[in-house]
Amino acid sequence: MTIRVVVTGGTFDKQYNELAGTLTFGETHVEQVLERGRCRLDVAVQVLMMKDSLELQDADRARIVAAVRGCAESQVVITHGTDTMVETARAIASAVTGKTVVLTGAMVPFAFGSSDGLFNLGSALSFAQVLPAGVYVAMNGRWFAWDDVRKNRELGVFEAIRTR
């Protein structure tokens, strides 16, 4: 079983540009994360785009949906900015069936010491292996169905919409 990992950017992959003093995108850090985790899963990493999720357009989401639908794998993990992760999950859910798709990201760039990215990718890859077909968000150690999750921007965490 191979797990497809689709990289779309987001805080997870931001890095500090020391000449400009700004946060930018360079290469993805997903391979570093997998190496750090001594990951031995069969993983196919695909860098689809490197974007802040607030800047994603409909055409970008269409490309993400197409990547998920078109790949050979039935387990897909997507690294994504947290701000519109739920919106992308919804777009995928409306177009993809029969696959387990898990979106994850980070509140702090992996390149910075205090990042949650390593924890989150470990979590997302695990959920992708055992959850039934469907579209999910994996953040804060939890999993959420795509239609029962929102980002609480005040707290910087994800939560269920319905009482559970």
- Binding site residues, its own copies, CB under 8 A: 11, 16, 18-19, 21-23, 33-34, 36-41, 83, 107-109, 111-116, 118-127, 129-131, 138-143, 153-154, 156-159
Starting from the edge strand earliest in sequence, which strands make up the sheet with 100-104, in order? 42-51, 2-9, 75-79, 100-104, 134-139, 142-145
Active-site position among 8, 11, 28, 104:
11
Q: Taking the CB of residue 87, how many other CB atoms lie within 10 A of it?
A: 13
Closer to its own copies by CB, 96 or 125: give it: 125
CB of 1 to its own copies, least distance (A): 9
Positive or negative, the CA dihedral 98, 71, 41, 122 is: negative
Smallest separation (angstroms) from its own copies to the CB of 66:
26
Q: How far is 80 from 12, CA to CA, in rounded Å?
A: 7
CB of 7 to its own copies, least distance (A): 17
CA distance 58 to 72: 24
73 versus 116: smaller Cβ distance to its own copies: 116
Q: Active-site residue 163, yes or no?
A: no
Pick between residue 45 and residue 111 the one whose CB is nearest to its own copies: 111
Catalytic residues, by residue number, are 11
